Amino acid sequence: MVADAGRAAVLAGGTAPRPSRRGILELGLAGAAALVLQGCASKPKRPAPVAEDQWEEAENLDPAIVDAGAEVVMQALANVGKPYRWGGSDPAEGFDCSGLVAHVYDDALGMKLPRTSRAMSQRGSRVARSELAAGDLVFFNTSRRAFSHVGIYIGQGRFVHAPSSGSMVRVERLSNRYWSSRFNGARRLVAGN
């Protein structure tokens, strides 16, 4: 793995190589696995049966679109644990909510987004909560004004965001009472996702 190669280089007296895009994705997958394992402490819920037409729909998805959503999710998960910093948009220094989203979309897809959550809420197309897909933006009213907070939907009712001062980038559930009551809407930036 990339981390092992970097450790070996440092032990040999060199410097660690800069991780490749694949290495970053591997680290993101490892982070996602750790998050999934955290959820294993409770009794797993029985998955709902999948209707036949849902299988057909999944088979007809454009792989490039699925890959774009997956890339956004991996980049978002790679930043879990980074510190919150008001006005921040750099993984080395920290993120605020819109800084995290702008960084992830730029890193994952080369897509430049506006700097504020309010401006981001005007991009892409509106998505119903029941139709959310990986990579969609989810918006919340956290300061008595619409679209004052933004996160990235990662699937299974969860999203990644930079919540507030003194905290870190983390994964939350949309069903959490606080977030559910403040949900403002969602936007899709990757066409056909």
Q: Which residues are catalytic?
A: 97, 149, 161
DSSP 116: S
What Å distances lie between residue 30 and 78, 89, 108, 156, 183, CA to CA? 9, 23, 17, 18, 29
In contact, 133 and 153? CB cutoff 8 Å:
yes
Provide Rg for the chain, Cα atoms. 18
Of 121, 115, 32, the closest CA to residue 80 belongs to 32
